[in-house]
Amino acid sequence: MSTWPAAFADACITDPPYGDTSLAWDRRCEGWLVQVARVLKPSAAIWVFGSMRFIAGMFDEMESYGFKYAQDIVWEKQNGSGFHADRFRRVHEHAVQFYRGAWSEIYKEPQFTNDARAKTVRRKTRPTHTGHIEAGHYVSEDGGPRLVRSVIDIANEHGRALHPTQKPLGILAPLIAYSVPPGGIVVDPFLGSGSTAIAARQLGRQFVGCELNPDYVGLLDERSRQVDLLTA
């Protein structure tokens, strides 16, 4: 990443090793954030996946590079893992958004799903404070738009993944669509099997990434072929 130009990317979406286990690949990587901060535009966002133990330790480092907490989502991934029998079985991961610059200057495109409940009219004692003072009731159209919730239920890819921590495209797509303008550039310093790259391509965004493990470098082409076959 040190050879990449400065201030060219619109956002970073990445899934670094968390350092939560004794597995050989699960080692925290130091120094990546300074490079991400350098290649992002002055007003830009970073989405970082991780366990709460990993994410909690990132807040001070993010702040040192001028990034502030914006929001977070919970990825509910169904069959999770439990390392100890005396804890709740963990079936989720967090993805936290940090941003640099003025929030008003950060690109953001709220995501919607067309699955609102059947048409209802709920009378209120007084209007909501939405700027529409004349509105005294709320109408939800059948199948109409609804903001994507902060808890997203997407099955993980255990049993068919090419990479040990492979993210499904369905959890990456809304983050890319929200944070990267059409034709914009998203970076991922932990390429893995290329999930971010493939989701970006499908959404009409550009992508730049890197991967240190030579065993994973060829996975992007292989996974791209698999995705193309599934969507053909």
Among left, alpha and beta (phi > 0; psi -120 to 50; other), residue 222 is alpha
- Its domain, for residue 141, covers 112-147
In a domain, 3, yes or no: no
**What's the pLDDT band for 61 if we cut at 50, 70, 90?**
very high
Q: How many domains does the chain have?
A: 2
The H or E element spanning position 79 is strand 68-81
Q: Work out the average pLDDT over 101-116.
A: 91
Q: What percent of the chain has pLDDT over 70?
A: 73
Residue 115 has pLDDT above 80, yes or no: no
> Count of CB atoms within 10 A of residue 114's CB?
10
**Residue 159 CB contacts under 8 Å (≥ 6 apart), including other chains:** none
Taking the C-alpha atoms of residue 57 and residue 50, their distance in angstroms, rounded to an integer, is: 11
Q: What backbone torsions phi and psi does residue 12 show, to the nearest 5 degrees?
A: -125, 130
What's the pLDDT at 152? 93
Q: Are residues 131 and 102 in the same domain?
A: no
82 vs 12, which has greater pLDDT? 12
Tens digits of residue pLDDT in 161-213: 555 567 888 999 999 999 999 999 999 999 877 889 889 999 999 999 988 87
CA distance 200 to 177: 8
CA distance 95 to 183: 23
Alpha-carbon distance of 29 to 19, in angstroms, equals 9
Spatial distance between the Cα atoms of 184 and 114, rounded to a whole number of angstroms: 26
Across 70-77, average pLDDT: 94
Tens of pLDDT along 135-160? Answer: 555 555 555 678 899 999 988 766 56
Question: Does residue 78 lie within any of the structural domains?
Answer: yes
58 plus 139 within the same structural domain: no
Q: Are residues 132 and 197 in the same domain?
A: no
Q: 157 with 141, same domain?
A: no
pLDDT computed for residue 10 by the predictor: 98
Domain CATH number, residue 209:
3.40.50.150
Of 22-36, 102-116, 156-170, the least confident: 156-170
pLDDT mean over 118-146:
57
Say if residue 6's pLDDT is above 60. yes
Using CB atoms within 10 Å of the CB of residue 202, give its burial: 0 to 12 exposed, 13 to 18 middle, 19+ buried: middle
Domain final position from 147, 165, 193: 147
Q: Identify any residues that bridge with 209 across adjacent strands, giving them in sequence order.
A: 188
Q: 200: number of CA atoms within 13 Å, CB side?
A: 25
Is 4 a member of any domain? no
Task: Clarify whether residues 140 and 179 are in a common domain.
Answer: no
Q: Are residues 32 and 143 in the same domain?
A: no
Please report the pLDDT score of residue 136 as a whole number.
55
Does 138 lie in the same domain as 116?
yes
1, part of any domain: no
Q: Are 75 and 166 in contact (CB under 8 A)?
A: no
**Angle (deg, nearest 10), helices 169-179 and 195-202:** 60
